[in-house]
Structure 1
Amino acid sequence: MADKCDLCLLGLIILSSLLTGTSGVDHVFISSGENVSLSCNKALSGCKSTTWIYYNRFRRRGRVELITGGIKNKDTERHERLSLESDCSLNIKNVTEQDSGLYRCRQYVNGEQQGPDADVHLRVLHVSVSPSSSSSSSSSSSSSSQTEISPGRSVTLSCQLYSYDIFSCDDRVRRGVELLWVNQAGVDLKTDSRYQILSSSAPDQDRCIIISLTTTLLNEDDNREWRCQLTHRDHLETSVRYTVKYSGEKTLFSDRFVKTSTDWLYSF
């Protein structure tokens, strides 16, 4: 019953912030694999009074108390990736799409809440690769698994924004969130007939917006870069890039990402 009350209150908070234009809810966009710090806006000294709660209606455990009284709860799946800053901000290392959701910071003294909640919506941009035909037996579509393909075969890159909202994804698009596949020069690949670009929203899932790129690999694709970028009201928030790397007899390999400045380089 308490969980349902929290979710109802959450809906009212978000609705109020949208209608009034207040900044009571912070919105953070980030690419998977990066580190992020979520602000608590604390009013009290020290963090022993601080509690961080995570919400996501699409997860098996839709409400999880990550930090209680300034101490990490060890039974949470992300325990090893969490830490508190001196200002009680919540740090999350190596963010995954599973981390998307709403994070709420509360502070208590003698069991009574002090000040308003600090709410942060964390939205995670993630890309996976799905070769439609492979020279190996692997059928994995994860960006962190290994898949062997070759020029002349088709490959699909799926760029997905993971988000927790009580509002539809269509509404989020109307409020200025957009995903684009672009080339190294920043040109929208929709203008190139070689690429098939498909956009969709999934309001019944946590993958709020999806844009896929499908193309047939060419020999000259060696060192070619494709980038999925997320913009919010025409401002670039974050991006993920794929750079094709051939080796040997022009065989394409998918490997782990390597961080480069604000982007992620996926070597194939």
Structure 2
Amino acid sequence: MLGLIIFCSILKETSGQKIIHVFSSDAENAILPCYDAAADCTSTTWGYYSNRGSPGIELFNNGKIHDRKKHNRLSLGSDCSLNIYKTTTEDLGIYTCWLGVEETQTTDGNVYLHVLQVSPPSSQTQIRPGSSVTLSCQLYFYYEHSCETLLSSEGLQLVWVNEFGVNLQTDSRFQISSSLKHCNISLTTTLLNEDVNTEWRCQITEGSEVKTSVSYTVSYLASTPAPVNTTQVISAVTAAVAALFVLIVLGLIFKYRAGRKADHAVVISNFTPVTPAAADINGKMTCGQMTEDVAYAEVITSSNLFKEIRNVQSDDKVTYVAIRGGLTPS
């Protein structure tokens, strides 16, 4: 019987009743005021009626939670207001607060809750510079009349703005279209590189006051790495190994040649001036005499290439002669 009394009061609006419109964003917390709140809220009752054909629901009865399905999302404020945690489109409807015991319950008005929601682009995989995106902003409302009547009667506007609050309708980059019949406004634009992390907001305003807003932040997907070509990887590794092998071989050759030059050192021994004989008519020298213009030396070569020590033989000796000046024929 109490439920019938409550929801007959909700649906019946007299000229003396007040109506409050509360606008909330999807997943935002909403506060619905209670008329003539009691000091301790022990006599406060909250009722709810949606427009989905379901019967009315008693949320609180005499200050105590009554709707167990929503008890984690509902609470009473110190002023007996109804607090809804993380509203959804399922919460829109008419809310009414009563005071007093069952026999003397009275109410001075109803609270209409409307929920604003932004739908992201239909394909998030296309969010990259150069792609075209469309964002749809929808006001889910409960009202006996049209959305256009609701907005005009309350002096409200449904708009898209940038992060600085500038109306995007004035920017030629954006195409803004609206349907007041369905309480919808959409934004279409082609994304630029500098749009990353940019915030666009859909909001309900009354003059300069923002009733509620929902934001969308542009976030580009990371580039998908190209598949690895195994054949190319193997070819590259093979080429690198071959180049390294060539460098090693060249290094060994240079080292070998440098070592060979060092091992073929020339040892000059017995550099003792001897007395050469006078030159004959064929220019040959005869040992046994020495002049200031000719000196003889024995040159012995040694090699360590094969790590052998050999005794110097007679044919290992080479006699060199140095002639300091020309010989004058006698």
Whether TM-score is above 0.5 comes out as yes
Matching residue within 82, 91, 103 for 2:83: 91
Matching residue within 135, 139, 146 for 1:157: 135
SS in 1 for 2:54: coil
Asked if 1:171 is matched to 2:171, the reply is no
Higher normalized contact order (CA 8 Å, seq sep 6+, divided by chain length)? 1
Partner of 2:249: none
* TM-score normalised over the length of structure 2: 0.59
Partner of 1:185: 164
Question: Aligned AA for 1:48?
Answer: T
Q: Using the alignment, how far apart are the partners of 1:9 and 1:46 within structure 2? A: 23
- In the TM superposition, residue 179 of structure 1 has moved relative to its aligned partner by 0.7
1:14-29 equivalence runs, <5 A: 16=15, 24-29=18-23
SS in 2 for 1:12: coil
CA deviation map 1:43-62 (0-9, x unaligned): 544333221111221x2525
Q: Using the alignment, how far apart are the partners of 2:31 and 2:143 within structure 1? A: 20
Q: CA RMSD in A?
A: 2.9
Partner of 2:200: 226
Q: Using the alignment, how far apart are the partners of 2:8 and 2:130 within structure 1? A: 50
Matching residue within 20, 44, 48 for 1:50: 44
Asked if 1:120 is matched to 2:111, the reply is yes
Asked if 1:214 is matched to 2:193, the reply is no
1:1-150 equivalence runs, <5 A: 6=7, 10=11, 12-13=13-14, 16=15, 24-57=18-51, 59-76=52-69, 78-109=70-101, 111-131=102-122, 133=123, 135=125, 149-150=127-128
Question: Aligned AA for 1:53?
Answer: G
Q: Using the alignment, how far apart are the partners of 1:62 and 1:190 within structure 2? A: 42
- In the TM superposition, residue 239 of structure 1 has moved relative to its aligned partner by 1.8
Q: Is the alpha carbon distance of 1:36 and 1:214 closer, same or farther for their aligned partners in structure 2, counting shifts above 3 Å?
A: same
Which has more strand, going by share of residues? 1
CA deviation map 1:60-90 (0-9, x unaligned): 52522111222222443x3310011233221
Give yes or no for contact 2:6–2:47 (8 Å, CA) kept in 1: no
Q: Is the alpha carbon distance of 1:11 and 1:127 closer, same or farther for their aligned partners in structure 2, counting shifts above 3 Å?
A: farther
- Bigger Rg, structure 1 or 2: 2
Q: Is the alpha carbon distance of 1:171 and 1:4 closer, same or farther for their aligned partners in structure 2, counting shifts above 3 Å?
A: farther
Q: Using the alignment, how far apart are the partners of 2:197 and 2:179 within structure 1? A: 29
Structure 2's unaligned 5+ residue stretches are 225-330
The number of residues matched between the two structures is 222
Q: Using the alignment, how far apart are the partners of 1:239 and 1:155 within structure 2? A: 20
Question: Aligned AA for 2:19?
Answer: V
Q: Using the alignment, how far apart are the partners of 1:95 and 1:215 within structure 2? A: 29
Question: Aligned AA for 1:225?
Answer: E
* TM-score normalised over the length of structure 1: 0.71
SS in 2 for 1:151: coil
Question: Aligned AA for 1:51?
Answer: T
Q: Is the alpha carbon distance of 1:56 and 1:3 closer, same or farther for their aligned partners in structure 2, counting shifts above 3 Å?
A: farther
Q: Is the alpha carbon distance of 1:121 and 1:130 closer, same or farther for their aligned partners in structure 2, counting shifts above 3 Å?
A: same
Question: Aligned AA for 2:160?
Answer: W
Which has more helix, going by share of residues? 2
- In the TM superposition, residue 34 of structure 1 has moved relative to its aligned partner by 1.9
